[in-house]
Amino acid sequence: MLTLFAAALAAAAVPEEKELLASMSGEWLGVMRAEVPPNVEEFTWRVSCAPIAKGSGVLCNSGGTASIGAIAQSCLLAPVPEDKEVHLMCVSSMGEVHDHRGRYDDGVIRFEPLRARMEGKVVEEIVEYRIGPNGIMQTLSVVRSEGSPEMRFTLHATRLKAGLEGR
């Protein structure tokens, strides 16, 4: 029984998943664009992603300073072995808690629409991550709420330093 468990653990991450995690790992610097009608603002956004659990996931800490002040967010991202499913759990300094589930395919993670409450309204959030082989990270978050204008948050970041393997 123990041998089967050890074999399952050894096969936990397939090459494509390891590539996804390695592609996110490291230090990033970019510009966050926040479109919260009627306002549009761009500000510097830093991301630091480190491998966790012997390379089975990454923990990303990010933040920047917008006109409303300093903003910070921490996200845990982990693929489900051999399923192309990815889980993303985020907590922000603005009191947001997000638990996304999506699919990974060819450098793009598309998450299922997340329904939550924000300021007493039911909102839907669509999230997408793109990690290019050229050291570019692009993220998109679209928040929709009935009777309110759509909010869009986009990040375009460049890798400054690759991350450490394994941990």
Domain ranges of the chain: 2-161
Q: Which of 2-6, 47-51, 81-85, 158-162 has the lowest mean pLDDT?
A: 2-6
Burial class (CB within 10 angstroms; exposed 0-12, middle 13-18, buried 19+) of 66? middle
Distance of CA 115 to the CA centre of its chain: 17
Mean predicted lDDT score pLDDT of the chain: 86
Whether the link from the prior residue into 37 is cis, omega within 30° of 0, is: no
Rounded to two decimals, the pTM is 0.84
Segment 34-49 mean pLDDT: 96
Locus of tokens 């399952």 = 8
**CATH code of the domain occupying 2-161:** 2.40.128.20
Nearest to 107 by CA among 126, 79, 143: 79
Segment 54-62 mean pLDDT: 94
CA distance 111 to 60: 17
Distance of CA 150 to the CA centre of its chain: 20
Inter-CA distances, 6 with 11, 15, 19, 82, Å? 9, 18, 22, 17
Whether residue 141 is predicted with pLDDT greater than 80 in this model: the reply is yes
Tokens coding 135: 């050291």
Question: Which residue intervals of 37-135 are DSSP H helices?
Answer: none
Q: What is the pLDDT of residues 87-140, one digit of tens each?
A: 999 999 988 888 999 998 877 899 999 998 777 788 999 999 998 878 899 999
| Res. 148 pLDDT band, cuts 50 70 90 | confident
Count other Cβ atoms within 10 Å, centred on residue 55. 18
| Res. 86 pLDDT band, cuts 50 70 90 | very high
| Res. 164 pLDDT band, cuts 50 70 90 | low
CA distance 62 to 46: 5
Q: Which of 3-7, 28-32, 70-74, 111-115 has the lowest mean pLDDT?
A: 3-7
